[in-house]
Amino acid sequence: MKSIVRVVTAGLLLASAWNVAPALAQPEPYLRVTESDDGSTMRLDVASRMFEPIDGIGPRIVLVGAAHVGDSVFYRRLQYLLDAQDVVLFEGVGLGDPTEGLPVVGRAERADRTERRARLLVAAIVGHRARTGRYPADLDELYAGMELGTAEMVRPLMQDADAHPFEYELLFDAGDAPTSFVVRAGNREFDRADLARPSGEPLDSMAGDEGIQRGLARALGVEFQLDAVDYSQNNWVNCDVTLEELERLLAEAGLAGEGDNFLAMMSGSGLMGALQGTVLGLISSSPTMREMVKMVMIDVLGQAEQFMSDMPGPMGDLMDVLLHERNDVVEARLHEIVDDAGEFGSVGVFYGAAHLPGIEDALVQRMGYRPVATHWITAMGVDLNRVGASPAQARQIRQMIRRTMEQEFSRMRDAAPPAREPAQTTPRQRSKRAA
């Protein structure tokens, strides 16, 4: 049992490492965990936060938190929100060409922009009916039924590419209750059929076909981000380092070997990958075990800042490079877009939640932006009542995992080599020296 716990713990740490940042000053979190009083239900919510320029000049910028495994509904809702932005900057080492230019805003792109925004409105109307049992009488009722932050984020997008507000009309077959609706933009009409459009091909990544995160998602009965999200839209632009740049950055920080080890674990190769595959197979075969591990994963994400804030040794320095150096790439691209004002009225940044506090800091401290709205989406949830599992048993397993994590960190601290003097210090090393 202890060996299984250690293998699962390693997988959960890897899955959460991309999502949870070392301790950074942040006014509001990008992850939150909600648990019922009796411990039988739990959910993980991920934030999207909208920023506007204080002087009113420049595009709205929406930071959208990524969770690399989650429910299909979570990714569908993220897709509608992201697609509705004029341009989306997304993370992904090796997932496209980061030197590619921004989309050319011609007639075709403006028509696509209108369609993407209309699709978001249609999805919001369908969601309102799912929650309330009826279509909203008008758009004011639609906004009133949303959480405040959600309404503030969606409302600016409820117009076509030429800034003409969408028209919303209820349709009646017979009787007093509407049976359908239509959204109009000029001579174009959109309805719920427009939500069922084909998706692009899933992207490959350093995770590989049988990477740990993809395998974990399959075992837990949820989706892996790269399989669930359509990155093929013309307004989606890769904004990350290349594999060659990542290798160079790690080498300059004296971490080349650690980077190779980390990528090998992510791809599911080596002994750890083989053990992980066996354990994940056991999890997927048991509904009770699957719900238990999902709860543990949510718990790890909720507690990870405590564990990750001072990760010892080379792994901590590796995470620091992966975080800060890639944030610099995003900030530079945002400056490019803001300086070229006029083409883009809204920008989405789709990155792991680890990165967003640092990107938010750049927006607020160096780019003259302020946060105006936060929209929460549930990434995954657990209900032990569905499988007849005991909350007390789940609590014991969560405590065991937490103790194992603490022991692993203690072991890593004891095994950490003396500090090296790399060719280029990492941001964390620089901050420690300054202190």
Tokens of 82: 């992201």
Output the pLDDT for position 302: 64
Under 8 Å between Cβ of 48 and 377 = yes
The CA distance from 85 to 383, in Å, is 34
Pairing verdict, β 346-352 and 69-70: unpaired
pLDDT at 311: 62
Quote the pLDDT of residue 69: 87
Tokens of 111: 């028509």
Going by the DSSP 8-state scheme, the letter that residue 165 receives in this structure is B
Transcribe 35-74 into DSSP letters.
Answer: E-TTSSEEEEEEEEEEEEETTS-S-EEEEEEE-SEE-HHH
Phi-psi region of 314 (alpha: psi -120 to 50; beta: other; left: phi over 0): alpha
Residue labelled with tokens 């890593």: 412
For residue 304, the model assigns a pLDDT of 55
Which stretches of the chain score pLDDT less than 50? 1-26, 205-208, 268-272, 274-275, 422-423, 425-435
Work out the angle between the directed axes of helices 356-366 and 313-339 (0-180°, nearest 10).
Answer: 40
Helix and strand numbers (H, E) in the chain are 15, 12
By DSSP bridging, strand 41-53 and strand 31-35 are antiparallel
Residue 5 CA: distances (Å) to CA of 222, 260, 276, 281, 308: 21, 25, 11, 14, 19
pLDDT value of position 197:
64
- The predicted-structure confidence for 315-353, as pLDDT tens digits, reads as follows 667 777 778 888 999 999 999 999 876 789 999 999 988
Query: Token pair for residue 161?
Result: 């590419």
Q: What is the pLDDT of residues 75-107, one digit of tens each?
A: 999 999 999 999 999 998 877 777 788 888 889
At 119 the pLDDT is 94
pLDDT at 321: 76
Its sign, for the CA torsion 91, 95, 101, 107, is negative
What is the per-residue pLDDT for 282?
Answer: 65
Per DSSP, helices labelled H in 340-417 are 356-366, 391-415
The span from the CA of 416 to the CA of 10, in Å, is 18
Question: Alpha-carbon dihedral of residues 35, 37, 39, 43, nearest 10 degrees?
Answer: -20
How much is the pLDDT for 420?
Answer: 52
- Asked if 178 and 170 touch (Cβ cutoff 8 Å), the reply is yes
Q: Convert the pLDDT of each residue in 393-415 to its tens digit.
A: 888 887 887 777 777 767 766 76
Half-sphere exposure of 271 (CA within 13 A, CB side): 0
Between strands 346-352 and 60-66, the pairing is parallel
